[in-house]
Amino acid sequence: MEDRIISYGGQAVIEGVMMRGQKAFAIAMRAPDGEVVVHTEPLASVYRSGITKVPFLRGVILLWDAMGLGMRALTVSANTQTGEDEKLEGPALYLTLGLSLLFGVGLFFLLPAGIGGWVEHLLAQTTSALWIGNLLEGLLRLGILVGYIWSIGFMPDIRRVFQYHGAEHKTINAYEAGAELTPENVAKYPIEHPRCGTAFLLTLVLLSILVFTALGPLPILWRLATRILFIPILAGIAVEYIRWTANHLGNPIVQWMIKPNLALQHLTTRDPDLKMLEVAIASFQSMRKAESELAA
């Protein structure tokens, strides 16, 4: 089971699913003509390097690379729908990643930090300022995360992406249970998965509440700087926490600990139809086939 936990993950894309192993990834998409189109590629060598065995550091490095992989997968799926043939790589990829990262850091970290610092300044004459500013900041960060995910879920295109997200989870759950991968079989399995990226985001935010509240009041520039500098540290801890809980799912305490992560996934997943499950299964099986060929 541990090998499966380490090896396989995925991501919903536009009208499709990307599945990632240790050596290769595959993207299966429903083209406008109704056919399932599959794209496979070998993974970067970092996924097989010794860095994947270094706790905390591996999470930061692999997370950054996974962001690039996710962007490429989204580009491939978008091109399949439009009929264009463009690659997002090199400077264009890094620029897109950088802008996306800046938006995420600004919205989820700097904006709440600024508001929390302003409240802290207003309450500077009271002892409550020692903790209420950071606590408010953390609660705002959590509220922005949940509110953002909830609001975009009303968009028809995003709703379909969330359905493919559900198809990805069901397929991996079925595989890990040893079931035959047919749409009818896979449909019976849970829509939540403990290694989901949504679980990582919630864990990251909850960790930030604990750590930043413990730091106490800071001058505004130091406050903003620490929110940026601590992101890799918190991300590394969050990845290790997700890995640890995924490896101990039989423990009743762990089952209780991951309940918030599973609950939030109800916002980022929707029940897929059988055609979406067919796409997710095609992606998973294509990834497995590509890995076997690379191992030969």
3-state secondary structure 262-275: HHHHHHHCCCCCHH
Using DSSP's 3-state secondary structure scheme, residue 85 falls into: coil
The token pair that represents 121 in the structure block: 């300044």
Whole-number pLDDT of residue 3: 41
Whole-number pLDDT of residue 188: 97
Rounded Cα distance, 183 and 275, in Å: 8
Q: In the chain, which residue ranges form alpha helices assigned H by DSSP?
A: 2-7, 57-82, 90-105, 111-122, 132-152, 156-176, 183-186, 197-215, 220-229, 231-246, 252-257, 259-268, 274-295
Whole-number pLDDT of residue 86: 60
- Those residues of the chain that have pLDDT short of 70 are 1-7, 84-97, 124-130, 296
Whole-number pLDDT of residue 5: 44
Give this prediction's pTM. 0.85
Whole-number pLDDT of residue 92: 62
What pairing do the DSSP bridges indicate for beta strands 16-20 and 9-13?
Answer: antiparallel
Rounded Cα distance, 192 and 172, in Å: 10
Rounded Cα distance, 257 and 4, in Å: 22
Closest among 242, 146, 253, 263 to 194, alpha carbons compared: 242
Whole-number pLDDT of residue 175: 94
